[in-house]
Structure 1
Amino acid sequence: MGENNECEAGNVFVDGIGCLPNVCGCDENDIKRVDNEFFSNVAGSKKSSLASVNDRENCTSPKLVKTVFSFYNNASERNRKFGFQLNHTLEGLEDAPFNKNGITVFISHGYLALQPREFYDEMRDLYLNKFENVNFILIDYSNGSMGNYWEAVANIQTVAYQTAFLVERLMKTRGLNVSTVRMMGISLGGQMVGLAGRAIRELTGVKVAEILSFDPASTCFEFEDHSLHINSSDANSVILVHTNMRNFGTTRLSGTVNFCPNGGKDQPYDCEYLTCKS
């Protein structure tokens, strides 16, 4: 980590974090893919509205991302439904509902924020109903995922370190056992949780127990030498679920375990890009 806002060439200083790789864009072919393919598959989207020229001086900043961590548990009905919101500064962490004896589960959304929101509410309820002692934490970086796609790619590095700092603080002040942490992510969030797992190990010296990544994003991550891509060393167990490899899910089978339902490229019946009805 750099100090005094000084970073080596190819890195950018991020307040509260230090120096991160200055990832401001994607390969030209990936940019064209976002522009030509993504918007043709999302009803009502305007072509080039997100795949536009990056004009941000610094490609990633907590002040712009404004990550919010929402804590849920079974301590009260309010905690179950509304949770406790903590911003990226972690101010007020001592007041967050947290049970050190419970399992801790993080979940992260992908590009274009919490869509559909019902999915995340259902996942929360699933864990709260199944486990009496569970800390369910939603990582919401919506503000950093609604702009240019490659800015969102840069932003997830910030989100990953913010998540790692939260885990480190929970370990030091609230008794969290890092080796019991589980993380889940969808699409771009599926790549972010891999980065978070790496950052947690860097800060604490301990790997999280498990990462479950649903269709980790391919665009800007697909190249074999891409250092940001989720891989099997990011947790003790890294499980990738591939359902959309023909389009925006990665084709790299880089998990400890890789599930490919129906071949992993596309799905039958009513499954669409953003929703899947059953």
Structure 2
Amino acid sequence: MTNSPYFSDVGGLPPQTQTLSSKAVFTTAYAVIPKTVMSDIVTSVLPHWEGTRAWIISRPLSGFAETFAQYIMEVTPGGGSVKPEPDIRAEAGIFVVEGNGTISYDGKDHALRTGSFAYLPAGAKWTFRNDSDAPIRFHWIRKAFKVVEGLEPPPAIFTHEDECVMHAMPDTDGKWATTRFIDPADVRYDMHLNIVTFEPGAIIPFMETHIMEHGLYVLEGKAVYRLNQDWVEVEAGDYMWLRSFCPQACYAGGPGRFRYLLYKDVNRHPDLL
């Protein structure tokens, strides 16, 4: 395990003595991909990336994620890419869970460290490299940007969790809070990536049921999550995908904080089929 405050201990392979019981589940409403599933043998290598492997934990698929793909990326020292994104329609949200690296964008280098966030607009020319002496691990959200006529495209963002305010949810005494990397009032953006924090004993006190699709990666702690009609125990390193309108709630029993990285699609009309 690393010293990162966020879970980043992916890889390896269970021993032959390991039992097959698992909380991994795939339904039409939600999926749970536990950390025990993210072994060495399920990684992908990607074109134009050197010294890199990826765990692809969501992708657009009938009956599954509809709006986004999510990767856990691991780039070794000297690795990276001068052509990271193959799709001109794709915007990127990047959150670093361990290590150091550099994104070059618009003629400027942006240093990344554990806790850094970057948003790169669709069509942006950017590169990524790891010039450090240790691997860097980060989440990479890829989404096809939904252009709106008369609305200017969103600018890039480079920030860090330490530079962002943690906003307490109303009437929770600060026990349930959200750190927002993108201004929720800025309608130019059609996706958000947030960190949600629950203190021990905090809850989502109603069954959220809404249009927004979610990807939730547990960064710290453990909790029980209500997904549709099921209660599922999750812990740091587990991943949940929730389809639009999947009922959801949470109870963070402790003993420590429960935190997750949350993707959601926002600020656009739904497509009419």
TM-score range, shorter chain: under 0.3
**Greater relative contact order (CA < 8 Å, ≥ 6 in sequence):** 2
More strand by share: 2
More helix by share: 1
TM, length-normalised to structure 2: 0.27
